[in-house]
Amino acid sequence: MELRIVAKTGHPDFLDLPWHLPLEEWQSDRLVEVPRGISRHVVRFVGYDDVVYAIKELPEHLAEREYRLLPQLANESIPVVEAVGVIARGSQRQHRRGAPETNALLITRHLRFSRPYRTLFSSRGLPELQNQLIDALAELLVRLHLGGFFWGDCSLSNALFRRDAGALAAYLVDAETGELHPRLSNGQRQHDLTIAEVNVGGELMDLEGARGDFPYLEPAETASKLRRRYESLWCELTRDEVFGPDERYRVDARLRRLNELGFDVAEVQLLSSEEGVRLEVNPQVVEPGHHSRRLKTLAGIDAQENQARRLLNDMASFRAHLERSEERKVSEMIAGRRWLAEVFDPVIATIPPELRMRIEGAEAFHEILEHRWFLSEAAGRDIGLRSAVAAYVDGVLEPRAAKGEDPMAPGPLHRAKGVPSDEASVGAGDGMLQRRKRIALVAHDNKKKELREWATFNQGTLAHHDVYATGTTAKLLEQDLGLKVTRLKSGPLGGDQQIGAKISQGEIDCLVFFWDPLEAQPHDPDVKALLRMAVVWNIPTACNLSTADFVISSPLMSGPYKHIAPDYEAYLRRDVAG
């Protein structure tokens, strides 16, 4: 049988594989087993040294189409698998004579440390997992649409997921139904989004029916979250903004916010009008991967966006340490190279090779930083990076390997006795506020309009957090934002007390309370009690528009934060007369 092989250089020639046989009939020492999901095509995996390749059998025109599309998407910094080659059976002469189309085989490089979505759910899976999956898939779809790519079959099954500093990152693995355009219309985007919503709901229903042990899945509600997350992120990235002549600072604020979300903007357009200055952002010049590119430039490390953000923060701390100790300014580039040589590389080299193969270097470094914090909290002092690495290897990596655990499986890091978990109630002691905060929004009647306008302006940010609100405020915010809002009772009917109770139990991380200072309230004691609880348990509290703007735009809102709650043990143990 004649074969036509189109392949990239730098990879094996694959000539030792039985190409003359249908893929499902292959028998070869090269075949390897890796975690796999559901596919409409036959897919097999082969190994060459320490590199694994996926081979998919599909009609020739689809294989060649996907082989062309994947590199084009990769060139736009969109996370996709690497296309390596196409193997076609039969000669081009046969095709010109009108012979029936035969199946071809597409070769892609298997994405290390990645997993199909179904394998992420285990008996110890966390309810947060579906939120992470939906966040990752929504961001991937937004990035594809910004690049002009109509997917046509967006689903959890057609993506792979990798750990990304406590979150998940999604990679496109199946592009055969896709089309690349200069720009997508709103109709094309909405059609793609509808397909995604239907597919995801169906996949989670199948998983729920097959496994039956995940009562928190809620397939229909989770699928609808995909649309809300997508719309919020798309709006944040592309919406126009109008501001006054003396508010030019808001241009920089908007661009910084896009950078925090992981996107660069190549150009903006400012248009003067009677209503003010309009800032327009063209979707075609919004480029993803801000932190990843910056880390690559400064340290030469390839990492995903959240990992890169975490490593850049550690690099910034290292740079500040250098400037203090050496009493001179240190450039960002020099600090990056020294951090790589003096911090990152030595830490990764400390991990035994057989364990290092099980986890990405950037993800391991992130986990070590988390582990260091937990152990330092338990010890009451900074234990240092060297001790944290040793404890991480002994207490996390080796037990994982010994139990044969999937490195991608969700689960807490090993913690020393007395160290609080990520999910621990912050009201009970020191804790870690995660990236996804729980925000309570409250407003008196004369302040509801102001709160609604503020929330609408910050819709894109609030979409990445869990929102709680009282009574009428909750109903209005759900209508305005299109987001799920946890509704509590009306303030005068006990809503303020409910929020105060949640604060004391560690279930609210931030309070935005626009209260009316000019009008008496029938439930004034409840108002004072709520504000008192916020102070007692040391949570960020905004009572007016300016403070709310400062809080919501703080970098601490988009990352983990070490929350320190007051210690009231002495108060509880005090002697009470009588």
The residues carrying an active-site annotation are 496
Cα distance between residue 518 and residue 497, in whole Å: 22
The tokens describing 329, both together, are: 């300014």
What one-character DSSP code corresponds to residue 221? H
DSSP SS3 for 404: coil
Instruction: For the beta carbon of residue 385, count every other beta carbon within 10 angstroms.
Output: 17
Q: Which residues pair with 263 in a beta bridge?
A: 288
Main-chain phi, psi angles of 43, to 5 degrees = -130, 130
DSSP symbols for 224-274: HHHHHHHHHHHHHHH--EEE-TT-THHHHHHHHHHHHTTEEES--EEEEET
Main-chain phi, psi angles of 178, to 5 degrees = -85, 160
Q: Which residues pair with 432 in a beta bridge?
A: 562
Cα distance between residue 461 and residue 437, in whole Å: 11
How far CA 167 is from CA of 37, 135, 161, 164, 466, in Å, comes to 20, 9, 10, 5, 16
- The residue assigned the tokens 């049988």 is 1
Q: Which of 359, 369, 397, 350 is nearest to 310 (CA)?
A: 369
- Mention every residue, 6+ apart, whose C-beta is less than 8 A from residue 161: 114, 115, 116, 117, 120, 133, 136, 168, 169, 170, 171, 408
Instruction: For the beta carbon of residue 161, count every other beta carbon within 10 angstroms.
Output: 26
Residue 91 Cα to chain centre, angstroms: 46
DSSP symbols for 543-571: -SHHHHHHHHTSGGGGS-EEE-----HHH
Cα distance between residue 302 and residue 361, in whole Å: 10
Cα distance between residue 227 and residue 128, in whole Å: 18
- Mention every residue, 6+ apart, whose C-beta is less than 8 A from residue 572: none
